[in-house]
Structure formats: C-alpha cells, structure tokens
C-alpha cells in the first residue's frame, strides 16, 4: 500500500501547489477516459473566508494529474480494489490543506 500512499501524496501536493494561495480546501472532479489518454477536470476551492470559487491550473498540472490518476487506477485494478467492478472513470478529490488530508471518491460506469 506504500505505492498507493505515495500516489495520494503526489496528487495532494500537486493540487495544493496548483491551487490559489488563499485556498484552504481544493475540490477536483475528474472524468478519466478508459484508455487514460484524456481527462476532463473541474477545479474548485474554498478560501480562508469560506467562499467557494473555481480556478484554472497550468496545463502541466492537469497533464501530471492525468498521469497520476492513470497510475492510481492501474494500481486499483492490479490489486483487485474495485469491488468486482470495472475500472473507475470518475473521481472527486478533496484536499483539506490545513489538516493535510486527502479524500478521493470514485464512481464507476456500470
């Protein structure tokens, strides 16, 4: 599971670095193609005053995030972590910056 923890840490660090400086929470929704060649994103954040807004990271951050998501999905498949379902295609990543926590929710196309 160290590999999965490392992937979570890299995703969390990437999104924290890509987000606005005043963000306390970053919410990213990703729709990853089954072939892993493309991904659609929504990037939102909550600032220190609890206002929600969206942001656009640089292209390199989105590219790197896609590669990390492909690696994470491959890890889930190789380690039978999909509860018998096919590969997940959607995820929501929530980074709580002050707490240093990451939560990732997956959804599957059945």
Provide block-wise average pLDDT over 10 residues at a time, the chain (110 residues).
Answer: 93 97 98 95 98 96 97 94 86 97 88
- The predicted pLDDT at position 83 comes to 79
Check whether domain 2-107 has CATH 3.30.500.20, yes or no: yes
- The predicted pLDDT at position 97 comes to 97
Contact 69, 30 (CB under 8 A): yes
This prediction has a pTM of 0.93
Q: How many CB atoms lie within 10 A of CB 91?
A: 19
- The predicted pLDDT at position 72 comes to 96
- The predicted pLDDT at position 38 comes to 96
In the chain, where the domains are located: 2-107
Contacts of 49 by beta carbon, 8 Å cutoff, 6+ apart? none
């Amino acid at each position: 599971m160290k590999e999965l923890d490392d992937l979570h840490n890299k995703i969390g660090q990437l999104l924290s670095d890509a987000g606005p400086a005043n963000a306390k929470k970053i919410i990213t929704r990703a729709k990853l193609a089954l072939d892993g060649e493309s991904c659609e994103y929504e990037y939102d954040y909550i600032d220190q005053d609890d206002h929600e807004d969206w942001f656009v990271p640089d292209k390199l951050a989105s590219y790197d995030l896609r590669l990390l998501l492909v690696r994470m999905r491959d890890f889930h498949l190789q380690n039978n972590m999909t509860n018998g379902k096919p590969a997940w295609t959607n995820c929501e990543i929530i980074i709580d910056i002050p707490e240093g926590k990451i939560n990732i929710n997956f959804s599957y196309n059945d």
